[in-house]
Chains A and B, each alone.
Chain A
Amino acid sequence: MTVWQCMSCGFTYDEAAGDPDHGIAPGTRWADIPDDWTCPECGMDKASFEMAEL
């Protein structure tokens, strides 16, 4: 399980927690998130995320 971070706004997607508020179940791997998913905070696309070293 890894954490991905939006390089535009800092929002983090934690695979373990998912993003239930936006229909992504806990445990959903980054690779399994649809390509048209966007950052819930700023709307940037998946390409704007990087694996986070927090």
Chain B
Amino acid sequence: MGEVAEQAKPMFPDVDFGTGEVPDFHERMDRLRAEGRRVVPVLYYGETAWLILRHEDVRRAYRDGEAFPCGEAYLRHSSPAMGDKMLLCLDGEEHRVKRLLISREFLPQKVQEYVGRLIRPLADELIDVFGERRELDLVENFTRPLPMYLTTRLLGLPDGDGKQLVEWIEALFTYALNPERTLRAREEVSEFLLPFIHERRREPRDDLISLLATSKVEGQHLSDEDILCFARLLFPAGSDTTFLTMGSMMNAVLGDPALRQRLIDEPDLRPRAVEESLRMFGTIALQNRYTVSGCEMHGVRIPPHSWVLFGNAPGNYDPDVYPDPHRFDMDRNLKGMVTFGGGPHVCIGAHLARVTLTVGLSRLLDRLPGLRLAGPVQTPLGAIMRGVRHLPVAFDAILPASAEEAVA
């Protein structure tokens, strides 16, 4: 018992990884790695969670649904907000069947179709709205609304009130911090969505709500609540992840004039810049799970009924896999990157995120001559969801989308 208690004493008791900004996140992870640690207890919303640090351990843990079931974690922290039939609350066959209902819409060949039809026009719309402004917060005006409105349009919903959407998205993801606000948002989102679900059941269109409204599982149509559970997940998950990585990516690109110029001169490099940004600045830095029976990893006993944090960001900075990990290197081999998790719950929107980031980067660099930071280079913040939340930039002009195309 003494040994277990000693093992469970949190490292870094000065910081709660659930709520803290942890600007020196990577320095702390580097220190643990240098000490040869692989699994350490840390504070997480005031409780102890077991943080898995090394790349190979994280990869293996994602595949081990018995020791680290996804549903056990999400039933605890997200089902009040999103419903207990939400994909991440499910495991096993029910999860497999329901995931396959929509996963085809997010395959690489499918998301390429969205580029010309949805993503690029939306990116251009947002840039057009900059109007006469030559200085603005790039997150508020571009990186946040781009994936947010892309998600609403994919679902087949009207753009609606941007501020209201942001409020709902933030509320659905923060049950632990403000349950009342989350439950109110759940009600409001359901009220907003239900008329569209009923309408698409009668008259399906080419959108995700229609797909779900007309899908059958074992011969039965999905219920309203089933569809709401999908939408309550896709809505914030599609919006609240890509925007943080895009902010961090633009912070890094604009903070390095040589890199910025290279990406302007050699557009073919942009997808590689996006991949390296996903490694370095993936939004979900730590992904939680919850144990049922407990397990042992490298001599560390993880007790039953414990929070576990899969180290996506620490794994992506593992120098045994990605040498010199703090360097932005577009030539590195990124195989095995754990930005999008792994196993049955691997991020369904990974390919969509990739093309959204690539289009976003391209439209900004191609249409905004002289785009630059209007402040110091920033440090991404947050240990669970990590990224740049405000990014003041300046630029010299806005090229019209069509004129820029003509020049190109």
Contact = CB atoms under 8 A, between A and B. Distances in A.
A48 interface: yes
A44 B107 contact: no
Given A42-B344, A43-B344, A8 B63 contact: no
B365 to A, nearest CB: 27
Nearest to B109: A54
A7 B342 contact: no
B351 interface: yes
B342 A42 contact: yes
Contact of A8 (B99, B108, B342): B99
A41 B104 contact: no
B78 to A, nearest CB: 20
B343 interface: yes
Contacts of B106: 10
A5 B345 CA distance: 17
Given A44-B96, A48-B96, A54-B109, A7 B104 contact: yes
Contacts of A10: 106-108, 350-351
Given A7-B107, A8-B344, A9-B346, A43 B63 contact: yes
> Of B104, B106, B346, B351, which is in contact with the most chain A CB atoms at under 10 Å from its CB?
B346
Contact of B346 (A5, A7, A41, A48): A41
Interface string B340-354: 001111101011000
B103 interface: yes
Interface string B75-118: 00000000000000000000010011001101111000000000
B109 A41 contact: no
A1 to B, nearest CB: 19
A7 B63 CA distance: 18
Contacts of A7: 100, 103-104, 107
> Of A41, A42, A43, A48, which is in contact with the most chain B CB atoms at under 10 Å from its CB?
A42
A53 to B, nearest CB: 8
Nearest to B346: A42
Interface string A16-47: 00000000000000000000000001111000
A15 to B, nearest CB: 19
B107 A43 contact: no
B100 A42 contact: no
Interface string B371-392: 0000000000000000000000
A24 B65 CA distance: 24
A14 to B, nearest CB: 14
A9 B100 CA distance: 9
A8 B109 contact: no
Given A10-B107, A10-B108, A54-B109, A41 B342 contact: yes
Interface string B156-195: 0000000000000000000000000000000000000000
A47 to B, nearest CB: 9
> Of A7, A10, A48, A53, which is in contact with the most chain B CB atoms at under 10 Å from its CB?
A10
Contacts of B343: 42-43
A43 to B, nearest CB: 5
A5 B109 CA distance: 11
Contacts of B348: 9
Contacts of B109: 53-54
A43 B200 CA distance: 33
Interface of B: 63, 65, 96, 99-100, 103-104, 106-109, 342-346, 348, 350-351
23 contacts: A5-B107, A7-B107, A8-B99, A8-B100, A8-B103, A9-B346, A9-B348, A9-B350, A10-B106, A10-B108, A10-B350, A10-B351, A41-B346, A42-B342, A42-B343, A42-B344, A42-B345, A43-B63, A43-B343, A43-B344, A44-B96, A44-B344, A53-B109
5 interchain residue pairs of minimum CB distance: A42-B346, A10-B107, A8-B103, A10-B108, A43-B343
Given A9-B350, A41-B346, 17 more contacts: A7-B104, A7-B107, A8-B346, A9-B348, A10-B106, A10-B108, A10-B350, A10-B351, A42-B342, A42-B345, A43-B63, A43-B65, A43-B343, A44-B96, A44-B344, A48-B100, A53-B109
